[in-house]
Chain A
Amino acid sequence: MDSGQTTDVAVVGIGRTAYTRDLNAARTPLTLGAEAARNAIADAGLTPADIDGCASYAMNDSATFGQVPYAIGVDELTWNLDVYGGGTGSYTSVHSAAMALSSGACSYAVVFRSLCGRSGLRYGDAEGMASLLTHGDQQFDFASGYAIPPQWFAMWARRHQAEYGTTAEDLGAIAVAERAHAARNPHAVMRSELTLDQYLQGRMISAPLRVYDCSLEVDGACAIVLTTAERARDLAQPPVYLRGGEFTWNSGGSWNNWPDFTEMYTAKVAKRFWNRFGIRPADIDVACIYDCFTYTLLVSLEGLGFYDKGAGGDFFREGRATYGGDVVVNPHGGLLSEGYIHGFNHHVEAVEQLRGQAGQRQVPGARTAVVTAGGGPYGGALLYEAA
């Protein structure tokens, strides 16, 4: 990378719990968050006493930035942040931690996401969603039975189908590709092969989205530890540099007023993102793209410029999104097959890949990774780079 853009922040530790759909194994979000944070701190060669910054994001379904550090024996934080919101929060919490470290507000920050997405409040349950959403605009949607995320993303996907001829097979190619990646990932919850036929026979949730288009709801937590590049040099793992990112927030009222359902936040940030670092899609080795639904992934990569409008199905079918192709997209299997840790597992995967520690799913020679967070009108993209 020869641009003048530099960063002084690195990820130095990663940790996770097991991800599970086993209701008999259910633990609390606090227990899960504490385990993931402990694992990330130990991975870095640090102890909880070193941690003085903490951030997380949630939708009233998790443990807070205060509970988790307390639970693992952190004495005092000099910086914290609790973000209310969806997958976008993985950008906001990580990027804010980087700024806090750069400014000296803290020295070692742990950022985590923990949720019981299976045994607790499931996002596919409309009454549960009603309890999560806090602003009055939702009443217009809810009265028409428009209440759960699969409906929202199906609504957007249908418009893309109408304008660009996107097919069930195009969306299926993404689900199949992510599952094939998950087969190599011991942390993934769904590792058995998924064929296109099986995909097409899958239960329809909200047309055109089938069950295999949807996030895999699981219980689990993951965490990363960040510090300054200077401190990172002396720790247990090779540092992975967080070079920065670009973010967009739009459509503060209702998603329904986003003018064009055939694009999402990445269309807004793409030019800024590539220009910021002086790179282009061909320079990216690993793309951990927020994939709450297949359509989110299809249109997010499209917006970043990895392919032309409407060409996403071919991109996946022709193997350009996997090993030996243009870029390896979600080598962990993503939210569809590894599990829905609300996109935070994308950061963990990017770091593991750039350390060269991803085992059977290692992307050979991986040096650069983009991690996106968000869906619909808002979200961001971060660039990570190997040491």
Chain B
Amino acid sequence: MAGTDAALRAFQPVPDGLTEPFWRGAAEGRLVLSRCPRCRRWQHPPLTACRVCGVTLHPEVAPMAGVIYSYTTMYHSSVPLYDPPYVVAVVEVGAIEGPRIVVRVVDCDPDQVDVGAPVTIEMRDLPGGTYKVPVAVLTQSAIEVISP
């Protein structure tokens, strides 16, 4: 990997009462997002209480799939975590207009990535520590559709 441990330190999570469930879920292979028990809205990044209902939010297991809202392929050598080029996407979890998460899109050629492509979510090691971080993998059908 590209960076030294010292350089990677700035990119490690800083779990607190709000964010710990996300990182613990990731370590266990699950996507855990904050959700309102009353109105069922997802809230990510997490908050203590629902912005609409005001009731306490709970961590909940979210679908391990989604749709790419947008993406960018990073070529600049600036982030020591990953060797460029790498693709970062905003994924809408579950379906279009689902809660948004930021993930790398891995195991594909950057040219295969597209807005609207369906993806599955997996957990991978975060370089520089013991955390795992969600990534997206293009679903097989999407790769077949857009491959030459």
Q: Is A25's CB within 8 Å of the partner chain B?
A: no
Which residues of chain A from 134 to 156 have a CB within 8 Å of any chain B CB? 136-137, 139-148, 150-151, 154-156
Task: Tell me the chain B residues, 1-23 only, with Cβ under 8 Å from chain A.
Answer: 7, 10-14, 16, 18-19, 22
Q: Is the CB of A139 within 8 A of B86?
A: no
Contact A147 B72 (CB under 8 A): no
Closest to B87 in A: A207
Q: Contacts A131-B10, A145-B88, A155-B71 hold; do A256 and B102 have CB atoms under 8 A apart?
A: yes
Interface residues on B, range: 35 or more
Cross-chain contact B72 with A206 (CB below 8 angstroms): yes
Query: Which residues of chain A are near B80, meaning CB under 8 Å?
Result: 126-127
Q: Is A204 an interface residue (CB 8 A)?
A: yes
Q: Does A205 contact B (CB under 8 A)?
A: yes
Q: A143-B13, A144-B102, A156-B70 are in contact. Are A125 and B78 (CB under 8 A)?
A: yes
Q: Give residues of chain A (190-213) contacting chain B, Cβ–Cβ below 8 Å.
A: 203-209
Set of chain B residues within 8 Å of A347, measured between Cβ atoms: none
Residue in B closest to A261 when the chains form the complex, CB atoms? B70
- The residues of B that contact A127 with a CB separation of less than 8 Å are 7, 10, 80
Report if B104 contacts A (CB, 8 A): yes
Given contacts A136-B14, A144-B102, contact A206 B73 (CB under 8 A): yes
- Determine which of B11, B45, B110, B114 lies in contact with A130 in the assembled complex, contact meaning CB atoms within 8 Å: B11
Structural contact, A162 and B78, CB atoms closer than 8 A? no
Residues of B within 8 A of A146 (CB): 88, 102
> Is A159 a contact partner of B69 (Cβ separation < 8 A)?
yes
- For B131, the closest partner residue in chain A by CB is A143
CA distance A375 to B71 in the complex (A): 18
Is B126 part of the binding interface, using a Cβ–Cβ cutoff of 8 Å? yes
Closest Cβ of chain B: how far from A124's Cβ, in Å? 6
Please give the distance in Å from B36's CB to the nearest CB on chain A.
Answer: 15
Q: How far is the CB of B144 from chain A (nearest CB, A)?
A: 20
A208 and B87 alpha carbons, distance in the complex (Å): 12
Q: How far is the CA of A172 from the CA of B69 in the complex (A)?
A: 24
A171-B85 Cα distance, complex, nearest whole Å: 21
Q: Judging by beta carbons under 8 Å apart, are B116 and A206 in contact? A: no
Interchain CB contact under 8 A, A136 and B70? no
A250 within 8 A of B: no
A78 in the interface, Cβ–Cβ < 8 Å?
no
CA–CA, A162 and B90, complex, Å = 14
Complex: A207 Cα to B72 Cα, angstroms:
5
B119 within 8 A of A: no
Residues in B whose Cβ lies below 8 Å from that of A137: 45
Q: List 13 A-B contacts (CB under 8 A).
A: A126-B80, A136-B19, A139-B13, A140-B22, A144-B135, A150-B76, A155-B90, A157-B72, A206-B72, A209-B72, A253-B47, A254-B44, A256-B101
B interface, CB within 8 angstroms of A:
7, 10-14, 16, 18-19, 22, 44-45, 47, 69-76, 78-82, 86, 88, 90, 100-104, 110, 114-116, 126, 131, 133-135
Given contacts A159-B115, A207-B110, list 8 more A-B pairs with CB under 8 A: A124-B78, A125-B78, A127-B10, A143-B13, A155-B88, A158-B72, A205-B75, A253-B45
